[in-house]
Amino acid sequence: MLSIVHAPIMSNAVIDTVTFQSVLDARKRINAFVHRTAVVTSSTLDKLSGTRAFFKCENLQRTGSFKARGAHNAVFSLSEDVIKSGVLTHSSGNHAAALSLAAKCRSVPAYIVMPRGAPRSKIDAVERLGGIITFCEPTLASREAVAEQIRLNTGATLIHSYNDSRVIAGQGTAALEFLEDYPRLDVLIAPVGGGGLLSGSAVASRGVSPNISILGAEPLGASDAYQSMAKGELTPSVNPQTIADGLKASLGTLAYKILRENHVEIVTVSEEAIVSAMKLVFEILKQVIEPSSAVGVAALLDPASNLKGKQVGVILCGGNLDLERLPWITLK
């Protein structure tokens, strides 16, 4: 068993690195506010992949995704004099709901900038959790400009959805739990968009099991992380095209640094493979997952990943999707 220390006194500083100790501190800080999610297995998926596979169900996490971990760690890292002005982010997805919940747990406002035209289900989720929504144009420039104006008006602290060391450390607690429960994993797979989950998982995994292989799974139509690692320089995403909408963000600067330091490999998968993997998880594991979660499963099932005979852990990152638009129906 790992020796867990108490989290340090809260600090407002955002540092440009994430250590194994910061992941341990994050776990202590958020333990009362997030679920220790289940891990499920399937002999059928073992046969299909040629591996012994384990799936950590962050789709069953509070707010339906791993994002609750990073949001709570960031919010509970802030001192009382700073947090009283609330927190702020621009997000149309899972981070918006997660930050709204974390702010609610500290009884402070959460200001959420969302683009006009965001899915009604995501707007409803933020509103249910008490987030104060301001709509903007569907461009990054508009999101950032509106968020900056709110910050100036309110004094709220901006919590970026992935390019923040506190968020990354919080996301790493999913892998920390995973390897505590299954310490003999040979490979850990996590999807990658902005890179918060994958980079946090890399730090946590190296701290528990230094020789484990860490694999990032990315849609072929949004493969900026793959390109960045191959070129040795951060290469932003341009017009990403994928059903995995949670993975369209460009890899963050801090995540890129962490992935390189930890020798993380990135693999890409097709849209057809994502949809097929998602359907298999519904049918076999009986888990509701979003397309971003299925990207990791698609990598597991791809012979090109060279995983046969290995014990492989896959993080199912979330389960928030529009059930009226299931991809094996809408893509026909």
- Which one is catalytic: 56, 67, 122, 248? 67
- Which one is catalytic: 22, 49, 77, 92? 92
Q: At what angle do helices 253-261 and 196-208 cross, to 10 degrees?
A: 30
What's the rounded Cα separation, in Å, for the pair 74 and 173? Answer: 13
Q: Which two tokens stand for residue 236?
A: 């932003």
Q: How many residues comprise the chain?
A: 332
Active site annotation includes 67 = yes
Q: Which two tokens stand for residue 31?
A: 């333990």
Phi, psi dihedrals of residue 235, rounded to the nearest 5°: -120, 100
**Sheet (strand 110-115) strand order:** 132-136, 110-115, 87-90, 157-158
Tell me how far CA of residue 18 lies from CA of 2, 42, 62, 204, 309, in angstroms.
18, 34, 24, 10, 32
Active site annotation includes 84 = no
What's the rounded Cα separation, in Å, for the pair 332 and 245? Answer: 19
3-class DSSP state of 93: coil
Q: Which two tokens stand for residue 213?
A: 């292989």
Tell me how far CA of residue 174 lies from CA of 39, 204, 205, 307, in angstroms.
11, 9, 10, 22
Annotated catalytic residues are 67, 92
